[in-house]
Structure 1
Amino acid sequence: MFLQRTVSTLARRSPARTFAIARPFSSSVARRNDKKWAPKQEGKVLPFDEIKNEDDLIAPGAKPGTVPTDISQATGLERLELIGKMQGIDIFDMRPLDASRKGTLDNPIIVTGAGDEQYAGCTGYPADSHQVNWLTVSRERPIERCNECGNVVKLNYVGPEEDPHAHDHGHGHGHPAHEEPKTFADFVKPDYWYR
């Protein structure tokens, strides 16, 4: 107890100037704020219908002396998502997949994706009958089947038709060619393949 009082007494008596910094960090940042780092145009909050290009997704920033909100500082896809949510539009369609039925090869569960690859979590039919199994569907392999319950999912690709890396075949940008990983299905007799 005596030691605690001594430490607190010394802390109160210690001079504050020993912790002073010669120049505050904020003045260093202000001196470094060149025009080349400034945005090309003043940001504004546009309605979702009026967003036409990336320049429309520049944030206005907070007024000096105020705390910025998410909408005043978010840019790019984050800003597009926030503006959409403000107007009731789910930009990334985060609804769960259809679990009211079991997907089959003739009538699969549709997974929409704009990328070359999409992941879908299967919890079985009826829902939550097994642990989550993550299925990977891609443009090259659009149909995948859960190995536990047999549920089938299929990719519905909605991205751009022409992918700049699609015809690359690993010869540009120093990337190796993509090779599909081997699975048990690769060793099944070709007559049983679903492709």
Structure 2
Amino acid sequence: MFMQRSAVAVARRAAVAPALRRSFATSMIRRERETKSPFWWIQWRLTDLADIKTIDDLRGPGAKPGTVPTDLEQSTGLERLEILGKMEGVDVFDMQPLDASRKGTMKDPILVRSAGDEQYAGCTGHPVDSHNVIWLTISRERPVERCPECGNVYKMEYVGPQDHHDDHHGHDHHGYEEPKNFSNFVKPEYW
């Protein structure tokens, strides 16, 4: 009985197998290269990152009806700024890793670029990966931080707008004061 069932199953597979092989065949189609760039509309919308002046410049045109939009067509805001930057070869958000080829010292710290008032830097030690990641908070008020594990020194290089923070706009930041730690009591000559 078992042999009869298996013989029937083998016969079914043999009859169907050639049809399955043929149904999944592929063919190559050669297409001529389009003379028009796929981003032709950007020439009238934006030609350069320098053309972005307002938030309205960071809205995509959307897709044509009945089509699926690309990332470039549907992105808005910071995502669109990043995509436009990548098209021009500019890393808008400076996503390169920090310099880990040397140990930062107080005289020659590892620079961390920031456009905001505060930046986080993750130290993995020197040599690299000699300890777990320790996250350091670097701010404009306190631009230099030292890793408590390996002694690596990081310094924030502010690259944002200069008029935003320098005059404080008369605000007291709602009475917030950064908490004190032992570094507040170090003699100035040791800084």
**Structure 1 length as normaliser, TM-score?**
0.68
Shift of 1:64: 1.2
Gaps of 5+ in 2: 1-41
Larger Rg: 2
Contact 1:71–1:79 at 8 Å: present in 2 too?
yes
CA deviation string 1:47-93 (max 9, x = no partner): 33452312322210111111222111111221110011122211111
Higher helix share: 2
Q: In the alignment, which residue of structure 1 is the partner of 2:124?
A: 123
CA RMSD of superposed structures (Å): 2.3
Contact 2:49–2:85 at 8 Å: present in 1 too?
no
CA deviation string 1:76-129 (max 9, x = no partner): 221110011122211111000000000000000001111011111110000111
Code of the aligned partner of 1:46: L
Contact 1:51–1:57 at 8 Å: present in 2 too?
no
Whole-angstrom CA distance in 2 between matches of 1:185 and 1:52: 42
Q: In the alignment, which residue of structure 2 is the partner of 1:84?
A: 85
- Choose 125-134 or 49-58, whichever is displaced more: 49-58
Q: In the alignment, which residue of structure 2 is the partner of 1:136?
A: 137
Which secondary structure does the structure 2 equivalent of 1:100 belong to? Answer: coil
Q: In the alignment, which residue of structure 1 is the partner of 2:47?
A: 47
Code of the aligned partner of 1:134: W
Gaps of 5+ in 1: 1-42
Q: In the alignment, which residue of structure 2 is the partner of 1:112?
A: 113
Whole-angstrom CA distance in 1 between matches of 2:138 and 2:51: 31
Aligned pair in 2 of structure 1 residues 50, 161: CA closer, same or farther (>3 Å)? closer
Q: In the alignment, which residue of structure 2 is the partner of 1:150?
A: 151
